[in-house]
């Protein structure tokens, strides 16, 4: 098999491959799971599905965001069924009514005082590491992995000039896609397909414009993000239906940023797309080997969102069209790669980041299993 052959079909449909990817990629890396503003006050909470796990994120009484595996320590029942809620004082298990405070401590366990050698202090919720950076909440299910700053500090440092934490969400879209999560990442990592698939996008940022400036394989060590930028052609101002916008640029945008759209994959599943006037984020969650759920959020300057008549539909509508064009070809790729005839293809010179990502996945899988939750 020649060097530079794409992965074989089983990588995209075999349930055992996905289980390994969840263990070694998703349960080991820092994942973007939300936004500080979603947990505005103590007791506000959200639950997030991360592969086969459910994570409970809560603003604790000390003001910190905390994360827990969303399961009761009595007999393992899913603790919180709601996707979000406000001002909770505690969490009550729906089965036998054990209860936990916002710091995850077990505070009520009926009839357990009669159980031999039962120490309530040992049965708090299993913690999940949580970090806050750029206004985003990040979770890591590996208790032994690197801290957030070591893992993703270099990525956020690229955008230090922008007050990302101040941005406010102005739109949210969700998509169900019949394709393996890696097909979506690979698709985001190249614009080889842009001329045939996205004539509207290609008109505003021609597919041969720009450059890649980050790879998972830098000269020294490894990096957890890869991507680059594309250039706005003519006098276009942003990726909107017309290519123009009345919105002011984001605070901190430099003259060169105003001519570019930056696109980065943050490993494994975050797409970060910085436009002159908005930040767009896709989070791509594997539901099964052949199905992914995509969350697509748009963030704007606070004054822009608060202005009367705020209407992001020029950007959101444009991206909805681009997204659907992408999901369609991703679903076709999934269908074809499920064929018994498929044994892998070849990368073009315009797919260096796809090759980079596929190689990184292989290497990360080879690094071995993530430790199970330590007790």
- Does position 203 bind ligand FES by CB under 6 A? no
Choice between 326 and 351, CB closer to Fe ion: 326
Give the burial string for 27-44 (b: 16+ CB within 10 Å, else e): bbbbbbbbbeebbeebbb
- Does position 118 bind ligand FES by CB under 6 A? no
Q: What are the counts of helices (DSSP H) followed by strands (DSSP E) for the chain?
A: 9, 17
- Does position 98 bind ligand FES by CB under 6 A? yes
- Does position 351 bind Fe ion by CB under 5 A? no
Shortest CA distance to 222 belongs to which of 260, 253, 267? 267
Residue 87, burial from CB neighbour count under 10 angstroms (0-12, 13-18, 19+): exposed
Partner from Fe ion, ligand FES, none contacting 77, C-beta within 5 to 8 A by type: ligand FES
Give, as ranges, the residues between 13 and 72 that touch ligand FES (CB under 6 A): 72
Give Cα separations from 182 to 25, 175, 287, 319, 360 (angstroms): 12, 16, 12, 20, 12
Out of 96, 203, 254, 367, point to the residue binding ligand FES (CB under 6 A).
96
Choice between 257 and 326, CB closer to Fe ion: 326
Choice between 115 and 339, CB closer to ligand FES: 115
Out of 25, 55, 58, 93, point to the residue binding ligand FES (CB under 6 A).
93
Q: How far apart are CA 249 and CA 215, in angstroms?
A: 27
Partner from ligand FES, Fe ion, none contacting 75, C-beta within 5 to 8 A by type: ligand FES
- Does position 74 bind ligand FES by CB under 6 A? yes
What DSSP string runs through 132-153?
EETTEEEEE--TTS--HHHHHH
Out of 5, 54, 77, 323, point to the residue binding ligand FES (CB under 6 A).
77
Choice between 93 and 184, CB closer to ligand FES: 93
> Residues 283, 15, 24, 104: is their CA dihedral positive or negative?
positive
Choice between 72 and 152, CB closer to ligand FES: 72
Partner from ligand FES, Fe ion, none contacting 326, C-beta within 5 to 8 A by type: Fe ion
Partner from Fe ion, ligand FES, none contacting 93, C-beta within 5 to 8 A by type: ligand FES
- Does position 326 bind Fe ion by CB under 5 A? yes
Choice between 93 and 177, CB closer to ligand FES: 93
What DSSP string runs through 216-255?
SS-SSS--SEEEEEEE--TT--SSSSSS---SPPPTT--T
How are strands ordered across the β-sheet holding 136-140? 31-35, 136-140, 127-133, 65-69, 53-59, 45-50, 84-85
Binding site for Fe ion (CB under 5 A): 326
Binding site for ligand FES (CB under 6 A): 72, 74-75, 77, 93, 95-98
């Amino acid at each position: 098999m020649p060097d530079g052959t794409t992965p074989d079909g089983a990588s995209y449909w075999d349930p055992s491959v996905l289980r390994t990817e969840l263990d070694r990629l998703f349960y080991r890396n820092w994942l973007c799971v939300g936004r500080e503003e979603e947990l505005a006050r103590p007791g506000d909470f959200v639950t997030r599905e991360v592969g086969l796990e459910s994570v409970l994120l809560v603003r604790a009484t000390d003001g910190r965001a905390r994360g827990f595996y969303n399961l009761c320590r009595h007999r393992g029942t899913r603790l919180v069924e709601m996707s979000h809620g406000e001002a909770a004082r505690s969490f009550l298990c729906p089965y036998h009514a054990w209860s936990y405070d916002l710091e995850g401590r077990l505070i009520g366990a009926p009839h357990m005082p009669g159980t031999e050698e039962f120490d309530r202090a040992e049965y708090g919720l299993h913690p999940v590491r949580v970090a806050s950076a750029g206004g985003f909440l990040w979770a890591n299910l590996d208790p032994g992995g690197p801290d957030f700053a070591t893992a993703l500090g270099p990525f956020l440092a690229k955008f230090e000039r922008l007050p990302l934490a101040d941005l406010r969400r102005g739109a949210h879209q969700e998509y169900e896609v019949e394709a393996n999560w890696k097909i979506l990442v690979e698709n985001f990592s190249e614009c080889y397909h842009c001329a045939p698939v996205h004539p509207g996008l290609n008109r505003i940022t021609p597919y041969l414009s720009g450059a890649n400036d980050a790879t998972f394989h830098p000269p020294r060590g490894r990096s957890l993000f890869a991507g680059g930028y594309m250039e706005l052609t003519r006098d276009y101002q942003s990726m909107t239906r017309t290519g123009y916008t009345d919105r002011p640029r984001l605070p901190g945008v430099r003259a060169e940023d105003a001519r570019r759209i930056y696109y980065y994959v943050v490993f494994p599943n975050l797409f970060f797309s910085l436009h002159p006037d908005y930040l767009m984020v896709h989070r791509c969650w594997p539901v099964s080997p052949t199905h992914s759920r995509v969350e697509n959020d748009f963030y704007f300057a606070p004054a822009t969102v608060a202005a009367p008549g705020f209407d992001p539909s020029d950007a959101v509508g444009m991206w909805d069209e681009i997204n659907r064009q992408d999901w369609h070809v991703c679903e076709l790729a999934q269908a074809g790669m499920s064929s018994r005839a498929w044994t892998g293809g070849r990368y073009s010179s315009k797919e260096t980041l796809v090759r980079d990502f596929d190689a990184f996945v292989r290497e990360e899988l080879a690094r071995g299993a993530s430790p199970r939750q330590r007790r």
